[in-house]
Amino acid sequence: MKVGRKAKPQSPEEMALVHHALENPTRRNMIILMNQGKLSVPEIEAEFGPNMLDYHMHRLELAGLIEVREEKIVLTEAGVAYGGLVKMQKEKGGAGKT
């Protein structure tokens, strides 16, 4: 799995972007799949459909969780870390089970 550089959020503003990105169940599920190795835009589109895909991907990118380069998704250090936390939360029945 490719991992980009950006580590944890450095400021309250960056933390707010992460919170906003991960408050949405679709984006939480997307980051879980990305952490499981689905690292191309077509793979994510196959799972979630084209509707609003660019918006959701943009939100994850703005939060510093992913980088998109020519249809390939690269998880940042933060993306790997938060993806693991989101997966664990989901498995325990929290953070919206959808």
Domain membership of residue 7 (yes or no) is no
Return the residue matching tokens 């793979």: 43
Please write the tens of the pLDDT for every residue from 46-72: 999 999 999 999 999 999 999 999 999
pTM of the full structure: 0.84
Range of the domain at 83: 12-91
Rounded CA separation 72/28 (Å): 19
**Position 83: which residue type?**
G
Q: Can you give the CATH number for the domain in which 20 is found?
A: 1.10.10.10
CB 86 within 8 A of CB 31: yes
Number of structural domains found in the chain: 1
Domain membership of residue 16 (yes or no) is yes
Please write the tens of the pLDDT for every residue from 81-92: 999 999 999 899
Token digits of residue 2? 């490719």
